[in-house]
Structure 1
Amino acid sequence: MTENSHSFLAGVYDLNGCLRGKRLPAQLADKLGSGAFRMPMSSIGVDIWGTDVDGNSLVMENGDKDGVCEPTGRGPLPIMGPMGSCPLIPMWMNLEEGTPFLADPRRALAHVLNQFAQIGLRPVVATELEFYLVDSSCVRATPTINARSGQPKNDDAIYSLDEIAKISPFLDAVYAMAATCNIPVETAVSEGGPGQFEFNLTHVDDALRAADDAVILKQIVKTCANDNGFSASFMAKPYQDQAGNGFHVHFSMLNANDENVFDNGTEEGSQLMKQALAGLINAMPATMLVFAPHLNSYRRLCLGGLAPTTAAWGYENRTAAIRIPGGSQAARRIEHRVAGADANPYLVLAAILGAALIGIKEKQTPPRPQVGNAHEANARQLPLDWRDATEAFEVDEIIATIFDPSLISMFLACKKQEQDIFKALVTDFEYQAYLDAV
């Protein structure tokens, strides 16, 4: 805790990737590991608005019992409030008897990683996170104002160094705050939409830390955007006619000798890499709800863009759901391109690595790599509707292999409640279309 901090925030990440927790006096920070910090286990499964979920059995049927929270070891982090003035201590949840609460997204990822450790493998992970900088004074997402014209920006500026230079104060603030939090941010890139940018994080051989870095970086970006007079949006598709925001995951595997087992000295990659690929392809329809958890998520997944619509893979093919990048054979890796920036990084990594683990254990064989436009591939179509993805998540046995039953039931109940709320909503556009015409 910093000398000037009179209080701090402590909380867990729920299934939607939102922080839920409490504000405490600074003098209580040393007591967080004593089991005194408790929260309802049901708080992990609230909907996107923070409302209890009717189908969550932990609320009424089980008396809304508390879980016991303990620090993750990352913190205090000066990432919330103006200029990071509100330190955050991230927590994760246990059951009363001290065993991990596997519906906690961070616990779910740790559970998958424990299974890798049992077979002598360690994932190396890096993430890429896209977002839009938007005008904070507008109700709907609106590009920030062009200082010269006084109008909102409406041009694409992919890889534009001019755009990067214009937001240097914001970028400097992000890099400084990330360095304070020991987050290895590498490059910043101007992406395809107006005011769209991407941060790339360094590969680390601790997937739990990689997920921590991603969720913390999202908060850093939001804080630094607010400090600089605008807002940051991680919506998957904030603009109907512009590129969506993705959350791409790169990973490889190390053995006990720290050798990359995806590298076999050729451009094709090892047999073990292909087994992992097969696991990802086979699990992709079932895990789609993790990668696209919201109504808006499916607006990003459409024909004609670089977001995937089929369960296909290819070498240096960005139209495919899974890409094998070129470059050094020693760095042979898989890039998983399905998830949106609105997804929960802990669940995304748990789903990806869990599916890869199934492929490796079962020695699965992938389909042939796709050459050219993967949207037109003779491959399984991904669920491109929120309810279809929910049904696939609910019925496929692969999900029960990756995730604990408590997480599955809570996530399904949460998504079904959100879907029912959106379905019942009468939008302004609906009024305009029908009010006088029928």
Structure 2
Amino acid sequence: MSPHVASEARDFLAQHPEIDAIDLLISDLNGVLRGKRVSPENLEKAYTQGINLPASVYALDILGNTIEETGLGLDSGDADRVCRPLPGTLMPTPWRRQGRQAQLLMHMQEPDGSGFFAEPRQLLGRQLERLTARGLTPVVAVEMEFYLVDRQRDASGTIQPPCSPATGERASQSQLYSVSELDEYADFLGEVQSAADIQGLPLDTMLKECAPGQFEITLKHGADVLAACDAAVLLKRLIKGVAQNHGFEATFMAKPYGLEAGNGTHVHISLLNEDGDNVFAATDGDPLGTPDLHHAAAGLLTLMPASVALFAPNLNSFRRFQPGLYVPMAPTWGFDNRSVAVRIPSGPNAARRLEHRVAGADANPYLLLAALLAGIDYGLSRELTPPQPITGNAYAQVEPSLTNSWCQALDLLEASEPLRAALGDDFLTVFLANRRAERDLAMQHVSRLETDWYLRQV
């Protein structure tokens, strides 16, 4: 690490003398932030020497248990790797302890200094290199949905929507795009915006989504995909932390309520050539864009069935795939159509782009974007042609074909030669072992519904 980069630590502490602890963070396979907390005296050392964490950080399931089948645990001696700071990610966490804490994203390295093979962020970097080699730069914007949940459970012990800070009444209506509901939660949303400004996270819009206590926040589009995913990961932490300060819990769980809309992650993507021109914008203004846009869309649609395990990474993820709740269930595309999987939004021709609408809010942003860029590269390199775009209700015209089976999704990913080539055998071995072990553990638990339905009847 160069002295110039290490000076980031000294300059930060000089500007923020109130800081008395810094969290050094790694994003694992599930997008869960893990790491160490250090004192200000040790921050510069983290820049110059790094910190050690076991490679098995990338073998952890959602419960924080090491999945030995990944090969990253005891079989490898549970060995350490060096983790080094990502310059530009050192920032205060203003919602923590009156702003006396800070955070810094780290990335794990192999002994030769290259990125650790199982780290999702370096995997995304490899996909970016493929497009860069084609003279293309992705521009992305990420939209994430989340629920605010009352910290007090209902009489049966299950989660429930929050009570309005303004009226005290429990949320019970959809109220999509309601400005009055934004007003009712203005203190919470205002602190989210203020904290994001302090951290330099590029928030764009906030809106009330289509279920009680559900909101969406959009990050501004930008040409640094790695930074966009960093911001998405950090924004989740920010929202959860600010929600706690206001007496709520915030969740990005894909399907917190069985009968309400799920939480999705929508990603907008365009491509710039070396002259900075959007290669998806047709010179004649065609709203369906250029042949390059068609090739990219075709690649996304072709690899979509095998990518579901990355878009829906856990047991709850698949409960989101239900008809009638704006979750695409087949590889479809169309112009300004929210019933399709890949939407071409309306708007200025210069901003022509793809919007991918399949993933849940529980997806790891780095793995999600890695899969999307791999699909785009696959379509461009083979000049694939998409099917006819859908006009009208895609749910009524196309039978569901994307799997809602966790087991089958993992099998489809394992069998996909294009995704294996893009993501690498070593990474897929770790990812599949991790997800299959978590599924096996989930299958050992019997739900309340099963006992209610079957205990006395079969």
1:82–1:223 CA contact under 8 A, matched in 2: no
Distance 1:69 1:319, change over 3 A: same
Residue pairs, 1:309-388, within 5 angstroms? 309-378=329-398, 381-388=401-408
Question: Gapped runs of 5+ residues in structure 1?
Answer: none
| Alignment deviations for residues 217-240 of structure 1 (CA, whole Å, 9 cap, x no partner) | 111111111111111111111111
1:12 counterpart residue number: 26
Structure 2 distance, partners of 1:84, 1:238, is: 31
Q: Does the 8 Å contact 2:140/2:228 carry over to 1?
A: yes
Q: Distance in 2 between matches of 1:222 and 1:8?
A: 18
Aligned partner of 1:221 among 227, 239, 257: 239
Match of 1:133 in 2: 148
Distance change (3 Å), C-alpha of 1:376 and 1:20: same
- Deviation string 1:23-78 (CA, Å, 9 cap, x unpaired) is 11211111223344111112112100010003111212222221211111233222
The alpha-carbon distance between structure 1 residues 81 and 430, as it changes in their structure 2 partners (threshold 3 A), is: farther
CA apart distance, 1:5: 1.9
The amino acid that maps onto 1:353 is: L
1:317·1:324 contact (CA, 8 Å) conserved in 2? Answer: yes
Please list, as runs of the form range in 1=range in 2, the aligned pairs for 1:198-347 lying within 5 A after superposition: 198-265=216-283, 266-347=286-367
CA pair 161-230 structure 1, distance change in 2 beyond 3 A: same
Q: Distance in 1 between matches of 2:98 and 2:33?
A: 19
- Is residue 2:178 matched to residue 1:160? yes
Distance in 1 between the 2:437 and 2:99 partners?
Answer: 34
Tell me the distance in 1 between the aligned counterparts of 2:166 and 2:233. 34
Change over 3 Å in CA distance of 1:84–1:270 after alignment to 2: farther
Once the two structures are superposed, residues 253-309 of structure 1 have per-residue CA deviations (whole angstroms, 9 ceiling, x without a partner) of: 011111001011222201111111111000001111111111111111111221110
Aligned counterparts of 1:148 and 1:6: Cα–Cα separation in 2: 35
Match in the other structure for 1:123: 138
Task: Assess if the C-alpha contact under 8 Å between 2:192 and 2:242 holds in 1.
Answer: yes
Confirm or deny: 8 A CA contact 2:20 2:101 kept in the other structure.
no
Contact (CA 8 Å) 2:20, 2:100: kept in 1 or not? no
CA contact (8 A) 1:286 1:398 kept: no
| Structure-1 separation of matches of 2:97 and 2:257 | 27
Distance in 2, Cα, partners of 1:316 & 1:345: 24
Percentage of pairs with the same residue? 38
Task: Classify 1:36/1:190 alpha carbon distance in 2 versus 1 (closer, same or farther; 3 Å).
Answer: closer
The aligned amino acid for 2:314 is H
- Over 3 Å counting, the alpha-carbon distance change for 1:100 and 1:133 in structure 2 is same
Q: What is aligned with 1:173? A: 191
C-alpha separation in 2, matches of 1:117 and 1:344: 23
Partner Cα separation in structure 1 for residue 230 and residue 165 of structure 2: 36
**Unmatched tracts of structure 2, length 5 or more:** 1-12
Partner of 1:101: 116
Q: How far has the Cα of 1:88 moved from its partner?
A: 1.2
Cα 1:208/1:50, change in 2 over 3 Å: same
User: C-alpha separation between the residues in 1 aligned to 2:125 and 2:158?
Assistant: 37
Which stretch has the larger CA shift, 281-290 or 77-86? 77-86
Normalised by the length of structure 2, the TM-score is 0.92
Task: Determine if contact 2:164/2:184 at 8 Å carries over to the other structure.
Answer: no
The Cα shift of 1:162 comes to 0.6
Q: CA RMSD in A?
A: 1.7
SS at match of 1:290: helix
Residue 360 of structure 1 deviates from its aligned partner by 0.8
Paired residues of 1:314 and 1:320 also in contact (CA < 8 A)? yes
User: Would the alpha carbon gap of residues 240 and 379 (structure 1) be closer, same or farther in structure 2, given more than 3 Å must change?
Assistant: closer
| Contact in 1 for aligned 2:166/2:184 (Cα 8 Å) | no
- 2:6 counterpart residue number: none
Alignment of 1:41-56 (within 5 A): 41-56=55-70
What is the SS of the residue equivalent to 1:61?
Answer: helix
Cα deviation code 1:153-192 (max 9, x no counterpart): 1111100011000111111111111111111111110010
Alignment correspondent of 2:79: 65
Q: Secondary structure at the match of 1:309?
A: coil
Q: Which moved more, 1:65-74 or 1:347-356?
A: 65-74
Instruction: Report what 1:399 is aligned to.
Output: 419
